[in-house]
Structure 1
Amino acid sequence: MSSVNVTAAIVTYNRLDLLKESLAAVLAQTAYLTHILVINNQSTDGTKEYLDSLTDPRLIVIHASENLGGAGGFNLAVKQFITALADDYVWLMDDDTLPEPTALEKMVSFATTHANIGFTQSQVRWRDVNGPAAYMNVVAPRAFYWQDALITPNNPAIEVVNSTFVSVMIPRERVLAVGLPQKEYFIWGDDMEYTNRLVADEIHKGYLVLNSLAVHKSKENLLPGDIITDTDTDRMWRYDYEYRNRILTARRIGKKELIKTLLRSGVRDLLKILLKGNVAYRGKKAGIIIRGTWRGLFFRPSIESAK
């Protein structure tokens, strides 16, 4: 275990104060951290100047020539991890992620003592390590197997089928096997698609490592993709990508998942928007669902190889 090397990767855009907290938390890890990749998505708030002033030898900063979105930033980070570094794992997170000091150590300890790891992820809390679960980072457990964790004494992890890019660690060999994150998603859903892909062979497994903790300092603790209750007008444009990207993710899982997603996202959500009382921005939201779902049916970007 002492020879394990990990690259942390943070994608940032115009959130300098949060980035400073995230970097401090990553640099405070107790073990295994070898490099920290920061992808700066053309921030205009002093992020470039701040990053250029840092001297920690583990830090590698890439200033993107344009705003690649979160998805493009993670694509670039994982590509850099594969092509320019030789570390064993890449550890992905947004710039509002604050891992606890032993978060990485706990994930590495689990990953190096279990076979066929597709990814591991931290347990994510909202705004404080003693706070509630961060709802947008609650992942789906593997059907039929998750109760084994409840009856096994001192069980260290729960098998899950996907993860978000808020403290998720991926072995190098899995990146080489499945390719890079889908940069064309631009924002939202790229993490679900990618982690689904990492475990799609049903041989490799994803795990929520229970004693690895991270804090997500998002402004609100919303359910993932909850356009119905969201009232933040600054976020509305993102749902166009959310609904488009959901369709491609479902299509890659299979026809049954595609039909389920069309019924759940395209039909059910639209009916709720139209029929439920007290829905803010009803017309705008209905248009986003229809447009995003329609775009998703014709959205067919190829998967980029990591080799």
Structure 2
Amino acid sequence: MTDETVAIVVVTYNRADLLARMLEGLAALERQPDAVIVVDNASTDHTPEVLAAAPVEQLEVLRSAENLGGAGGFHHGVREAYARGFDRVWLMDDDVLPAPDCLTVLMDTDEDCLMAVREDTAGHLVEKAATRFDLRNPLAIRPKTGMVETDFGSRDRMPERVELENVAFEGFMVRRRVIDAIGLPDPSYFIFYDDVDFAVRARRAGFRIWAVRDAVLVRQLDFDQQHDVSGWKGYYMYRNLFAVHLRYGENALVRLKPYLIAAMVVLLSPVRGGRGEAANVIRAMRDARGMRHAPARSVD
């Protein structure tokens, strides 16, 4: 494994100060990557200046002409890393800091799909990757029914490896053979659930996914998963959740669940999200139907 090559793919958009700290963390890694590919999603802040001054060797910048979203950015970056022949690709956002030995630990782990474990700046475990992701039970309104954070409470209570059923593209490492088998991240998600979709495809292709306890990423920001359901993020949250169920639901009742959720949201909208949420969920249900087929395997 020591002779395997690895490229880090980072997607960023208008978070230059976070990106600067993150790049300093990459420069401090014990085991240096063979390439760092930063996809700049048409940032309008001082991201170009940060990238120009970055203390990272082998840094390459792919600047998009428009904001592709996280999903489009990771599709673009992974495609570039794959085309250049790297053995492994390590994906991360611009708001994490890897421990100096994080890449060393991952590269010393002989598995095809790996997840670094996230802590907050106070050292608390905040790893929300799912240990159970239920696409079989139609009564499971939220398919994530278990996650590392709640299963273990702290990192020192974890075993050396924990098997996962989904991941975040924030510390996820994948070998080339997985991309050979299932293709690239799906850019049509824009934001949210592109990482879940990739994990489901990988597991269905026979690959196992492991969180590695001693590979640590520090999250610079607190998790904020409570988005405005009547705003633009609410649309993508609903649409992409529905798409995952329509694509990968293991029975007809699970595949019908998005329609039930949409109907319930519309009925309850006067006392929760209002007309904005109702409009979002109706449009999300319509558009998710156009995403119900998983992408064909492609590395183009």
Corresponding residue of 1:206: 209
Corresponding residue of 2:96: 97
4+ residue runs over 4 A deviation: 267-275
* Residue type at the aligned position of 1:249: V
For 1:294 and 1:120, locate their aligned partners in 2 and report how far apart those are by CA, in whole Å. 34
Specify whether residues 172 and 57 from structure 1 end up closer, same or farther in structure 2 by C-alpha distance, changes over 3 A only.
same
The equivalences for 1:61-100 within 5 A come to: 61-84=61-84, 86-100=85-99
Specify whether residues 96 and 262 from structure 1 end up closer, same or farther in structure 2 by C-alpha distance, changes over 3 A only.
farther
For 2:133 and 2:249, locate their aligned partners in 1 and report how far apart those are by CA, in whole Å. 17
**What are the ranges of 5 or more consecutive residues in structure 2 without an aligned counterpart?**
135-145
Shift of 1:60: 1.1
Measured against aligned partners, the alpha-carbon deviations of 1:117-167 in whole angstroms (never above 9, x if no partner) come to: 3x11112223x1513515xx3323378x999x99xx983111111101110
Q: Of 218, 233, 240, which aligns to 1:238?
A: 233
Q: Of 242, 249, 270, which aligns to 2:244?
A: 249
The equivalences for 1:41-52 within 5 A come to: 41-52=41-52
For 1:139 and 1:146, locate their aligned partners in 2 and report how far apart those are by CA, in whole Å. 4
Specify whether residues 283 and 11 from structure 1 end up closer, same or farther in structure 2 by C-alpha distance, changes over 3 A only.
same
The equivalences for 1:1-307 within 5 A come to: 1-31=1-31, 33-54=33-54, 56-84=56-84, 86-110=85-109, 112=110, 114=111, 117=112, 119-126=113-120, 128=121, 130-133=123-126, 137-141=128-132, 155-201=159-205, 203-218=206-221, 220-223=222-225, 226-227=226-227, 230=228, 236-256=231-251, 257-263=254-260, 265-270=261-266, 273-275=269-271, 279=272, 281-299=273-291, 302-303=295-296, 305-306=298-299
Specify whether residues 24 and 271 from structure 1 end up closer, same or farther in structure 2 by C-alpha distance, changes over 3 A only.
farther
For 2:88 and 2:96, locate their aligned partners in 1 and report how far apart those are by CA, in whole Å. 18
For 2:47 and 2:38, locate their aligned partners in 1 and report how far apart those are by CA, in whole Å. 11
TM superposition score normalised by structure 2? 0.82
Specify whether residues 142 and 286 from structure 1 end up closer, same or farther in structure 2 by C-alpha distance, changes over 3 A only.
closer
Measured against aligned partners, the alpha-carbon deviations of 1:157-187 in whole angstroms (never above 9, x if no partner) come to: 1111110111000011101111111111111
Q: Is the 8 A contact 2:129 2:147 kept in 1?
A: no
**Identity %, equivalent residues:** 28
For 1:222 and 1:262, locate their aligned partners in 2 and report how far apart those are by CA, in whole Å. 26
For 1:212 and 1:65, locate their aligned partners in 2 and report how far apart those are by CA, in whole Å. 34
What's the RMSD between the two structures over aligned residues? 3.0
Specify whether residues 190 and 3 from structure 1 end up closer, same or farther in structure 2 by C-alpha distance, changes over 3 A only.
same
Measured against aligned partners, the alpha-carbon deviations of 1:82-139 in whole angstroms (never above 9, x if no partner) come to: 112x2211000111122222222222222x1x5xx3x11112223x1513515xx332
Measured against aligned partners, the alpha-carbon deviations of 1:230-288 in whole angstroms (never above 9, x if no partner) come to: 58x8xx2112122112222222213534234444x43455555545xxx4x53322322
Q: Is the 8 A contact 1:13 1:41 kept in 2?
A: yes
For 1:304 and 1:49, locate their aligned partners in 2 and report how far apart those are by CA, in whole Å. 37
TM superposition score normalised by structure 1? 0.80
Specify whether residues 289 and 29 from structure 1 end up closer, same or farther in structure 2 by C-alpha distance, changes over 3 A only.
same
For 2:37 and 2:147, locate their aligned partners in 1 and report how far apart those are by CA, in whole Å. 33
Q: Report how many aligned residue pairs link the two structures.
A: 281
Measured against aligned partners, the alpha-carbon deviations of 1:36-75 in whole angstroms (never above 9, x if no partner) come to: 1000111111212331344743111111122111111100
For 2:217 and 2:122, locate their aligned partners in 1 and report how far apart those are by CA, in whole Å. 7
